[in-house]
Amino acid sequence: MADVDVVVGIDLGGTKILTVAATPDGRILARKRVATPQGRDAVVAAMRDTVAAVLGEVGAAVPRAIGVGAPGPMDPVAGILLEPPNLPGCANLPLAAIFRQLYPDAGIHVENDANAAALGERRFGAGRGVDDLCYVTISTGIGGGIVAAGRLVRGAAGTGGEVGHTVLAPDGPECHCGLHGCWEVLSSGTAIARAAEAAVARGEGAAIRAAAGSGPVDARAVDQAAAAGDPAALRIVAAAVRYNGIGFCNLIQVLSPARIIVGGGVSRAWDRYIAPAAAWAKRHAFARPGGMCAIVPADLGDDVGALGAVAVGLGDAEAS
Ligand SMILES: [Zn+2]
């Protein structure tokens, strides 16, 4: 029995590992962040060391549970990473088995990072008490997680909730996944930046370039230029809003969620990229599910991955 009742959440990403020790109600007591090293053994060692560090900091020998949110594709039931493109060298990594050996008395669960984030928002954030919700993160890519009737939708392959790779424009640009016109390739932060760079290259993006200053020509710069009425920026925003609107509308038609929770860097410019899309989606979905769906900002900010992993540790991916 642990002397301090904590759950460890590990947010394993391609660039960083953020590990927290939290109370079961989501209060973070200790956190350790390291850059993700290269190679399988180094990744495992870094994860193990961050877990030991946060447990040491809070004075717990054994956590109640350990949850991991990691990039897909994975087998969440077996707790094995399959061939994550963001983690080279980590193919077929049996994370659950490795941590079960280190902490045999703790519950160990591993889940896809976007699904983990959905569970984190549901347990600790903007989705508390909601049984039917979609979580959508719009940042460099677009990811998602779906909870229906109180259960995470993993689907038969464990890949459920990949909303970013639903096709909204079949004649649109090619996505890295091989499809054309995925939501992600149309209105992610990367897509907005690509459109802004193209406008600059055509000589139409002077205001966007100026708004970017010494920084990148990105969604934030487009937001600022649009606020000043720049026509090129307004066109880019209109395209992103259109596809976000179609994406949200599709979610409402298919799932009738009570809440769509939107996070990620692009959603920080809520009034620009999200609010008009949300209004469009609610207006164009069938009246009853559209009227019953609230589209709201995510609540957990940069901790969503780690707190999502805590929710995974607590067994939320399996809970009925
Ligand atoms: Zn795609």
Q: How is residue 107 written in tokens?
A: 């519950």
CA dihedral of 99, 102, 104, 107, whole degrees rounded to 10? -30
- Report the separation in Å between the CA atom of 105 and the middle of ligand 1, taken as the mean of its atom positions: 40
Sheet of 259-263: strands edge to edge? 151-152, 142-148, 133-138, 259-263, 294-297
Nearest to 231 by CA among 239, 254, 298: 239
Give the C-alpha separation, 117 to 57, whole Å.
Answer: 25
Q: How far is the CA of 168 from the centre of ligand 1 (A)?
A: 10
| Cα 260 to ligand 1 centre (Å) | 21
Cα–ligand 1 centroid distance for 141 (angstroms): 9
Distance 242 CA to ligand 1 centre (A): 18
- Quickly state the pLDDT bin for 255 (edges 50, 70, 90): very high
Separation of 31 CA from ligand 1 center, angstroms? 33
- Name the CATH superfamily, with its identifier, for domain 130-298: ATPase, nucleotide binding domain (3.30.420.40)
Q: Which CATH superfamily is domain 7-120+303-313 in?
A: ATPase, nucleotide binding domain (3.30.420.40)
Distance between Cα 165 and ligand 1 center (Å) = 4
Query: Taking Cα atoms as reference points, which of 41, 9, 6, 44 lies closest to residue 25?
Result: 6
Beta-strand relationship, 28-35 and 16-22: antiparallel
User: What is the pLDDT at residue 71?
Assistant: 92
- The reported pLDDT for the residue numbered 72 is 87
Distance 181 CA to ligand 1 centre (A): 7
CA triple 6-11-14, angle to 5 deg = 160
pLDDT at 166: 97
2 pLDDT exceeds 60? no
How many whole angstroms from 186 Cα to the centroid of ligand 1?
10
Query: Which segments of the chain belong to CATH 3.30.420.40?
Result: 7-120+303-313, 130-298
User: With 50 as the cut, is the pLDDT of residue 271 above it?
Assistant: yes
Residue 23 CA to ligand 1 center (angstroms) comes to 37
Span from the CA of 191 to the centroid of ligand 1 (angstroms): 12
What is the distance in A from the centroid of ligand 1 to the CA of 209? 28
Q: How far is the CA of 162 from the centre of ligand 1 (A)?
A: 9
The residues pairing with 167 across neighbouring beta strands, listed in sequence order, are 182
Distance (angstroms) between ligand 1 centre and the Cα of 140 equals 13
Q: State both tokens at 57.
A: 């900091």
Distance 161 CA to ligand 1 centre (A): 13
Q: How far is the CA of 57 from the centre of ligand 1 (A)?
A: 41
255 CA to centre of ligand 1 in angstroms:
21
Q: Model pTM?
A: 0.95
Name the average pLDDT for the chain. 96
pLDDT band at 246 (very low <50, low <70, confident <90, very high): very high
Q: What is the pLDDT of residues 159-202, one digit of tens each?
A: 899 999 999 999 999 999 999 999 999 999 999 999 999 999 99
3-state helix, strand, coil in the chain (%, to 5): 45, 20, 35
Cα 143 to ligand 1 centroid, rounded to whole Å: 10
Band of pLDDT at residue 76, cut at 50, 70 and 90: very high
